[in-house]
DNA sequence: TCTGGGGTCCTAGGACCC
DNA sequence: TCTGGGGTCCTAGGACCC
């Protein structure tokens, strides 16, 4: 007998928060419960979350808000700007409960996590108990899909969302019949382009894809496509990292609340994004080897410009980052040309512990002093309030700032915004 | 007129080397 | 007119995810 047969089957469970951003808003604002609600992205541009009631009214995911203004007015749909401070905090609470309840967990996104389970007859009941606990402790409803691989767990999760219990256990013997009902475009890892290609090639269901020839898949969909096919067959190819690998790049970018037309304002925006990106990498103990800055013109069709700046040695020092962002991009920008959006990317990230020093640079105490200054700055801002101390070059008024007209309070992360009730 | 932000991985092709 | 073969490294761009 082979050893494999005696090993208990391992399963992946995908825990997914239902309509997460809407659910977060509903935890504190009871008037939103049972009503159609949508959450829009930064700058109040696109619809990025919908309550079931809003979905039923035909509001699609990712649609520009302005295209649906008439439906929103007519149906009295509530609109909220996205409140990432709130969502991030509630997400952390949900993930903490999962961590305490299971051995293996991989947080996949703000509202999703994979957990590993070992087969026994009680998987379904375990999942139901977990669901109840998270709803009770955080107010967030979740769905759990269980399958032999992550891709199959994703499939199961779709069915869980539609089921009464919000839990679905996809057993091996049911895989074929379930996959036969699933169109390729709904498979995790198959995007718009690939699903068009597959459909024109006669592969229309997930079962068709599962039965496709390996060499054909590899040739037309690269190894990532082949992994998906193996996963559909129940062979895990997307394994969890024991130690999640460090980030390779960090971006900070925003659309402007109104078009920016001057070098001065574009410079302020670049400085702000560079400063924010610097904070992010210092938090992770990383240094950037180079920086890219870009600007997207208004309207979109008028193109973008971008430029890269290579540091003599990796850095996370905000003044250096700001200097690089402005120095790289501003000379390429022509005063008066309207900009829609800009951003700063820090790339070639290395751990600050393993810093590679440049032989030809004199290492005065100045660098070390800056390092200390940055850490004092970060500590202060953490204690006193988000970005309480900023760099003057970021601008004071920031009239170009992103719009968030209908943002709810940061109930859980700001004392002055805590929910008040009258008794 | 209006359409987000932040990531990852893979491949093809160019530059360069011997 | 003819003018190799085999490698590595890097980058841009495409495709995907939430």
Residue in the block written with tokens 């894809």: A209
Residue A242 has a pLDDT of 64
Phi, psi of A108 (to 5 degrees): -95, -35
A340 touches strand B (CB under 7 A): yes
Which tens digit of pLDDT belongs to each residue from A43-67? 888 999 999 999 999 999 999 999 9
Residue A362 has a pLDDT of 58
Kindly tell me the burial class for residue A27, based on how many C-beta atoms sit within 10 Å of its own C-beta (0-12, 13-18, 19 or more): middle
Distance A203 CA to B4 C1' (A): 32
pLDDT at A402 over 60: yes
Distance A227 CA to C6 C1' (A): 30
Residue A1 has a pLDDT of 43
Determine the Cα–Cα distance for residues A251 and A211; give it in Å rounded to an integer: 40
A299 touches strand B (CB under 7 A): yes
Answer whether A249's CB lies under 8 Å from A346's CB: yes
Determine the Cα–Cα distance for residues A226 and A209; give it in Å rounded to an integer: 10
pLDDT at A4 over 60: no
Nearest nt (C1') from A190 Cα: C16
Which tens digit of pLDDT belongs to each residue from A150-200? 999 999 999 999 999 999 999 999 999 999 999 999 999 999 999 999 999
Residue nearest to nucleotide C18 (CA to C1'): A109
Q: What does pLDDT average to over chain A? A: 91
Range scoring the smallest mean pLDDT among A2-11, A138-147, A229-238: A2-11
pLDDT at A364 over 80: no
A338 touches strand B (CB under 7 A): no
Share of chain A above pLDDT 90, in %: 74
Nearest nt (C1') from A46 Cα: B3
Distance A313 CA to B8 C1' (A): 25
A399 or A91, higher pLDDT: A91
Determine the Cα–Cα distance for residues A74 and A52; give it in Å rounded to an integer: 17
Residue in the block written with tokens 């460090």: A246
Range scoring the smallest mean pLDDT among A76-90, A232-246, A349-363, A378-392: A349-363
Kindly tell me the burial class for residue A336, based on how many C-beta atoms sit within 10 Å of its own C-beta (0-12, 13-18, 19 or more): exposed
Phi, psi of A99 (to 5 degrees): -60, -40
The whole-number average pLDDT for the span A410-420 is 86
């Amino acid at each position: 007998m082979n050893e494999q047969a005696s090993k208990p089957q391992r399963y992946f469970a995908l825990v997914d928060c239902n309509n997460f951003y809407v659910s977060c808003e509903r935890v504190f604002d009871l008037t939103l419960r049972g009503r159609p609600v949508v959450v829009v992205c930064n700058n109040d541009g696109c619809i990025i979350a919908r309550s079931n009631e809003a979905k039923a009214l035909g509001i699609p995911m990712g649609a520009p808000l302005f295209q649906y203004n008439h439906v929103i007015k007519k149906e009295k749909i509530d609109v909220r700007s996205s409140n990432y401070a709130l969502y991030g905090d509630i997400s952390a609470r949900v993930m903490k409960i999962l961590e305490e309840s299971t051995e293996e967990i991989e947080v996949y996104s703000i509202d999703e996590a994979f957990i590993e389970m070992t087969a026994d007859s009680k998987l379904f009941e375990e999942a139901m108990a977990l669901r109840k606990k998270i709803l009770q402790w955080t107010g967030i409803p979740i769905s759990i899909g269980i399958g032999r691989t992550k891709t199959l767990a994703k499939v199961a999760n779709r069915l869980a969302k539609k089921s009464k219990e919000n839990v679905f256990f996809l057993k091996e013997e049911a895989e074929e019949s379930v996959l036969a009902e699933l169109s390729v475009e709904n498979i995790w890892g198959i995007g718009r382009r690939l699903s068009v290609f597959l459909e024109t090639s006669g592969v229309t269901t997930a079962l068709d894809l599962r039965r496709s020839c390996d060499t054909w898949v590899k040739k037309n969909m690269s190894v990532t496509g082949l992994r998906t096919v193996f996963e559909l067959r129940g062979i895990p190819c997307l394994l969890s990292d024991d130690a999640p690998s460090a980030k390779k790049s960090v971006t900070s970018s925003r659309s402007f609340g109104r078009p920016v037309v001057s070098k001065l304002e574009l410079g302020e925006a670049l400085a702000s994004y560079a400063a924010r990106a610097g904070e992010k990498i210092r938090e992770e103990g990383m240094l950037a080897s180079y920086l890219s800055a870009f600007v997207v013109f208004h309207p979109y069709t008028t193109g973008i410009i971008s430029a890269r700046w290579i540091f003599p040695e990796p850095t996370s020092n905000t003044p250096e980052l700001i200097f690089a962002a402005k120095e790289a991009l501003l000379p390429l920008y022509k005063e008066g040309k309207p900009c829609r959006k800009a951003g700063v990317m820090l790339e070639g990230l290395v751990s600050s512990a393993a810093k590679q020093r440049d032989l030809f640079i004199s290492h005065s105490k100045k660098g070390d002093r800056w390092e200390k200054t940055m850490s004092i700055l970060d500590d202060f801002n953490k204690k006193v309030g988000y970005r309480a101390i900023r760099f003057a070059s970021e601008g004071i008024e920031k009239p170009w700032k992103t719009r968030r007209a209908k943002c709810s309070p940061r109930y859980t992360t700001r004392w002055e915004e805590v929910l008040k009730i009258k008794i």
